[in-house]
Each structure stands twice: as C-alpha cells, then as structure tokens.
Amino acid sequence: MIKKLLSINNLFFLVIIIFMLCSCSARKEQALFNAPTDIVTDTIKQVYVVNDQGMGDIYYKIKVNDLLAIRNLQDKEFGVKGGISVAPVAVSGPNVTSYQVDKDGNVDLPAIGKVYVQGLTRKQASLKLQEIYGNKLLKDPIIEVSVVNVKVTLFGEFNKQGNFLLERDNTTLIDILGEAGGLTKNADRKTLKIIRGEKDKQEIIYVNLNDINSLASRYSKLVLQNNDIIIINQTKSNALSEKLQSVNSVIQPVLVLLNVALLIFTFTK
C-alpha cells in the first residue's frame, strides 16, 4: 500500500512539473523579440523612444546594391528590356525591370549608360535621369524612380504579416497599418513597437495605438525606415487563454492516467 501511495504522489508531482514547464514554454512563445524596456507599454501615453538615434532620413537615399525600377510615365514600354527582372509585385505596373546600383554608385541604363545615383533621393534621381534622357533621347520625359528593395517587416497581430515594400518617400506607420489590413481582434494596441537600426545603434519606438494623438504628424519617428521591424503582441487575457489551452492539452492525458491509477488503487486495497 505504501508503494502505491508513493506512486500516486509521484504522479501528482509529475502533473505539477508538467504544468510549470508548459506555462513557462507558452509564456516564452507569446511575445516576439522581447526587450527589457517592454514594461513601458503599460504606462506610455503616446510614443516613447528607447536609445533615440535622432532624426532618420525622411527621404530615402540610394545606396550601393539597391535595385532601381525606372520608367518613363509617358511611354509604358520604356525600360522594359535589359536589367535584372523582378517580380511584378515589387513595384506598381506590369513588366517592370530593375537595375542594380554598382559598387561605385552607378546604375547602367539603356541608351545613356552609367549614371551616378548613390546618395540621391528618389526624386533627385528622377530629375537627374529626366534631364539626361531629355537631352539625349526622349522628348519631355517624366521619369519615375522606385527602389524595389526598401521594405519593412510586420510580425504579430496584424491581419497581414510579412514584408511590405516602401515604394515612396515618407511612408508612415499608419500607411503600413492600412496595407496590412489593420490589427486582429486579439491585438494589444498598447504594445506596438518598431525596432530600427542594428546593434549598438538600435532604437525601439513604442506606440500606444489607443491614443489617436500617437499618430500625429509631429512624430517623425513614425516615418518608416528601410528594414524596420514592426511588432504587436496579443492582449494579456488572450495570451493567458492560449497558455491555459496549451497546458490543458498536455495535462489532460496525465489526469486520465492518474484517475486510472486511483481506480486501480481503490479496487485493490
């Protein structure tokens, strides 16, 4: 009998250990890219910046290895041949071809050859190419330059997750929220954060979406930068519910075994 009691006690102990392990595991799985400063999400009113790196580039400047899609808006066939083909989703319009900026900051284009574009904004590059093509080849061209590799990444409680291209300058957080179809019903609107930059220059921007003033234009930090990571987590109540369901799916079989053991003990004592 003593051995049987010890065996039952061991089963109870096992249930407790499994419960604790599952709770810890579920807790770790709920939040993405945790940071020590995430505790501020319970207290911020609008926007809070950690490790502020100052003003970013409101207007993206072309860099080495960027892929440029270049079109003459007056001639849809212009720029279709040559270059490096990219998926149509990269930029608006059919048959778009991109051209890579080489290590010297030049882009090699049809008819006009190499043009130095490194450090230019999209608008500056458009005007420069417009002038060159106008002088050499085309009549009154209207040149559009898009950088097809500039993107942000969305994780968490968005209706659409993944990579979103920043096809134009001054793309804001609200623009991307619209492209992502807004938030899910489980999103905790106080937990949105933008991770920007790398290593020691990395900054975290927390945004409380419950306050409409958080999206005011004066917050230049909400103009998105290349490679921003945008995250929003579940509400605590929904996360807890998922934890309990996860733990319950593991505990239930153990409880069944425990009940069987108790029945055997009862009928054999």
Q: Give the integer Cα–Cα distance in Å for 28 and 13.
A: 23
Q: Which of 198, 157, 151, 201 is nearest to 180 (CA)?
A: 157
> How many domains would you assign to the chain?
3
The pTM of the full predicted model, rounded to 2 decimals, is 0.68
Domain boundary among 123, 147, 171: 147
In a domain, 61, yes or no: no
In a domain, 62, yes or no: no
Q: From the DSSP assignment, how many helices (H) and strands (E) are in the chain?
A: 4, 12
pLDDT per residue as tens, the chain (269 positions): 544 444 555 555 555 555 555 444 444 455 667 888 888 887 888 898 998 888 777 789 999 999 999 888 876 555 544 444 333 333 334 445 789 999 999 999 988 999 999 999 999 999 999 999 988 888 888 998 989 899 999 999 999 999 999 988 889 999 999 999 999 999 999 989 999 988 778 999 999 999 888 877 556 889 999 999 999 998 876 555 555 566 566 666 766 666 776 777 677 76
Same domain? For 126 and 75 the reply is: yes
Same domain? For 47 and 171 the reply is: yes
Residue 191's CATH number: 3.10.560.10
The structure tokens listed for 252 are 């239930």
In a domain, 93, yes or no: yes
Q: Give the integer Cα–Cα distance in Å for 268 and 97.
A: 80
Instruction: Give residue 81's domain range.
Output: 67-147
In a domain, 220, yes or no: yes
Q: Give the integer Cα–Cα distance in Å for 25 and 22.
A: 5
User: Is 72:85 a contact under the CB 8 Å cutoff?
Assistant: no
The structure tokens listed for 120 are 């230019």
Same domain? For 79 and 137 the reply is: yes
